[in-house]
Amino acid sequence: MLSDCPLWPEELAEHYREIGCWRGETFGSMLRQKAELYGNKTAITNGKRKITYAELDMQSNQLAAGFSKLGIQKDNRVVVQLPNDVEFFQVIFALFKIGALPVFALPSHRSSEVEYFCEFTEAQVYIIPDSFDGYDYRKLARKMKDRGFKNLPVIVAGDPEEFISLSQLFHEPFEKEFEVSSHDIAFLQLSGGSTGKPKLIPRTHDDYIYSLKKSNEVCLMNEESVYLAVLPVAHNFPLSSPGVLGTLYAGGRIVLSSGSSPDEAFPLIEQERVTITAVVPPIAMIWMQAVKSRNWDLSSLKVMQVGGAKFSSESAKNVKPAFGCVLQQVFGMAEGLVNYTRLDDPEDVIVHTQGRPMSPYDEIKIVDEEDQEVERGEVGELLTRGPYTIRGYYKTKAHNAKAFTSDGYYRTGDLVKLDHSGNIIVEGRDKDQINRGGEKIAAEEIENHLLAHPEILDAAVVAMPDEYLGERACAYIIRLDKGKPSPVELREFLNKREIAAYKIPDRFEFVSEFPKTALGKVSKKSLREKIAIQLKNKK
Ligand code: J2J
């Protein structure tokens, strides 16, 4: 079992097993069982290519054999950066079967993020597509080889060039089973982060499969369900709420879209008779406009999930009239807790709240700055623990002491209140993060990049309001010299540092000093207010 992953106290783990939350299943055993039940049924399609449950099970066995011959063993970490395609599933199930851990990188990550994941997790292998969305990942791998990752094996789905070809690794499966326990860590998921470096989230087979089961109950997933994945499937929302893994658990069908534009997604909904999909608020808004423009037949769609960032009630109320389906608000986090509005909730709850925890064993507390519970209806920070919420990040002891209470609650950093019906309303955030339409940016990570510029004295990155994305990033900068570097130069500088494009600030403001709090720290609150007023006055 991977070390350096804080887990639940043993008595509590025993309790979760006794009450039937953790049922001893692993992802490997789950897939085998589903293949027995649904053999020839299509598990995954992208509209053209199809793969059945039996094929997925068999191919992941073959790949497990190939990976194993390559030297990948139990508990090894493997950075997986694959887009929405069948290979993603072949790869992760092969790794699950060996007991090796996928580390889920997103396709938008670049060498700055990927190098960190490889280094921090001491990854054994890195798996990429040849190219996706106009970007050649082999170039990235080549650069990494030149920069200290000389011996890191790189496996490519597609044309491998000088690297290892994924398609050559489907070998004859072994007779012998790999030994994987449901208590083991199944993978490392990425946290949205609020510090300099992204944190990694260890999720066990037991806890994650429980979260799929509960999600399926709440979202009424069954064998007839057809789930369209438009968000990158490595992200926790489309992966598990109920997402692609929940769909497999229910015996449904996954439809993969490589992008979220209406031109890609709507034909797939029509053709594949999709019943449920998940989007972030900006995509929901684009779709609501696009649906008016042509006579699409989206009548199969029963549920549209919106989550990842706050969905305004003005937009929320338009979903049902636009699509004729139920809106489900989803307020979740890769660390665990997922809240859903229920499909039969009154309209008022669906439009105005972000729902309630999916499990009766989720414990939540809303607290003030002294960790005292606030009165019902008042705003405070949401703390949570339960059968699928982690007890600590991977290998970050000092940070864990701050991010978790001594009795195991995760400090979400989200400011919420409970409404009269007991549903959660997200009011804001008390973490140093920008939520750019669902994509999370840790302010400190970008500040560190900016501070590497020789002509920058100090930097503070804050959220600024945006009609479309909810928030965008604004970087306040103190320069050594007036006039340079310019915003254009700064963008170029950050690009050269090879960070994911969504993390590059949308706006740069140059100042000679930062407002300070009473304790002398940079007052980000003042900076947020300043830019919000500036933008409002410009309108
Ligand atoms: C406001 N803020 C929200 C919402 C997430 C399901 C759905 C989403 C995620 C996710 C996920 C929000 N309204 N509806 O993992 O399984 C913000 C909060 C939260 C953070 C978590 C899932 N839904 N948020 O978004 O780990 O600030 O997970 O703490 O990426 O997103 O981000 P992440």
Q: What is the predicted ipTM?
A: 1.00
The DSSP symbol for 518 reads T
Q: Which pLDDT score, from 0 to 100, does residue 522 have?
A: 96
CA 537 – CA 527 distance, rounded (Å): 15
- The confidence score (pLDDT) of residue 301 equals 98
Q: What pLDDT does residue 338 have?
A: 99
Q: Ligand 1 centre and the CA of 307: distance in Å?
A: 6
The helix (H) or strand (E) run that includes residue 415 is strand 410-418
Give me the pLDDT at residue 195, please: 82
* Residue bearing the CA closest to ligand 1, atom 28: 333
- The span from the CA of 355 to the CA of 352, in Å, is 9
Rg (CA), the chain: 23
Closest residue (by CA) to atom 2 of ligand 1? 309
Residues of the chain with pLDDT under 50: none
pLDDT digits (tens, 9 = 90+) for 337-372: 999 999 999 999 999 999 999 999 999 999 999 999
Residue 239 CB–ligand 1 contact under 6 Å? no
Measured in Å, residue 19 CA sits from the centre of ligand 1 at 27
In the reported structure, the alpha carbon of residue 58 is separated from the centroid of ligand 1 by a whole-number distance in angstroms of: 34
Asked if residue 251 has its Cβ within 6 Å of ligand 1, the reply is: no
- Alpha-carbon separation of residue 328 from 80, 324, 455 (angstroms): 30, 13, 47
Q: What is the tens place of the pLDDT at every residue in 223-282?
A: 999 999 999 999 999 999 999 999 999 999 999 999 999 999 999 999 999 999 999 999
Task: Determine which residue's CA is closest to atom 16 belonging to ligand 1.
Answer: 237
Q: Please, what are the domains in the chain?
A: 1-23+195-431 (3.40.50.12780), 27-43+50-180 (3.40.50.980), 435-538 (3.30.300.30)
- Could you tell me the distance, in angstroms and rounded to a whole number, from the CA of residue 331 to the centre of ligand 1? 5
CA 342 to ligand 1 centroid distance, Å: 17
What integer pLDDT is reported at residue 538 of this predicted model? 87
CA of 316 from ligand 1 middle (Å) equals 16
Phi, psi of 79 (to 5 degrees): -75, 120
Q: Is the CB of 426 under 6 A from ligand 1?
A: yes
What's the pLDDT at 379? 98
Ligand 1 atom 19, closest CA: 333
- Whether the CB of 278 sits within 6 Å of ligand 1: no
**Which atom of ligand 1 sits closest to the CA of residue 431?**
27
Å from CA of 258 to ligand 1 middle = 21
Evaluate: CB of 309 within 6 angstroms of ligand 1.
yes
Q: Is the CB of 247 under 6 A from ligand 1?
A: no
Q: Give residue 309 CA to ligand 1 midpoint distance, Å.
A: 6
**Which DSSP category does 407 fall into?**
T
Determine whether the shortest distance from the Cβ of 241 to ligand 1 is under 6 A. yes
The dihedrals phi and psi of 367, each to the nearest 5 degrees, come to -125, 160
Mutating to test ligand 1, I would choose from 108, 188, 199, 237 the residue with most ligand atoms within 8 A of its C-beta, which is 237
Q: Give the closest residue (by CA) to ligand 1 atom 32.
A: 333
- DSSP letter for 78, please: E
CA distance 391 to 8: 6
Q: How many other CB atoms sit within 10 Å of the CB of residue 361?
A: 17
Structure-block tokens of residue 319? 């979903």
Q: Which tokens belong to 443?
A: 């302010």
Nearest Cα residue to atom 31 of ligand 1: 308
